[in-house]
Amino acid sequence: MRAVGYIDGMSFYEASKEKQWYPAGWCNWTETIGAYCPGADVSVRYFTSRYTGSDQKIVRRQELHLLAMGEVAKADLIEGSCRERSLKCPRCDEQLRCRVCGCTKRTDEKMTDVKIALRLLEDAIDGLFERAYLVSSDVDLL
């Protein structure tokens, strides 16, 4: 049997990073999916975007994370993009400022849901799996 995991990496990481059950901050998805499909030939497609901020500690942590995904978990890394947008009031459209750090912008990952859906559909059409696993904390993928 062939199994493919489609991992919404940024979404899952952001939702899980503070949880006690996720202390290492990463998961070997190939082994995890293999545990659900013993004996299967497992492939993983890991979708994420690069951190675009100036905090070098976060940049290095993500680089190490992606290195482990590629080298240890043997995942195909599929990178998306992030876009910066202004924080604005939904009622009056006035510029808002974060109470904690004072910033007026936030970064959003874009088009990852669409990339996952298209890749899953392409792989299904090409007959690349008998079983597919979709891992995300994003309700858009429901």
What domains, with CATH codes, occur in the chain? Answer: 2-82+108-141 (3.40.50.1010)
Which of 138, 135, 137 is CA-nearest to residue 120? Answer: 135
| Burial group, residue 94, by CB count within 10 angstroms (0-12, 13-18, 19+) | exposed
Helices (H), the chain: 9-16, 29-36, 56-71, 112-125
The sign of the torsion formed by the CA atoms of 107, 53, 136, 14 equals negative
Q: What is the pTM of this model?
A: 0.78
> In this predicted model, what pLDDT tens digit does every residue of 38-56 receive, in sequence order?
999 999 999 988 877 778 8
Tokens of 58: 């976060």
> In this predicted model, what pLDDT tens digit does every residue of 44-102 receive, in sequence order?
999 988 877 778 887 888 888 889 889 999 999 998 866 667 777 888 888 888 777 77
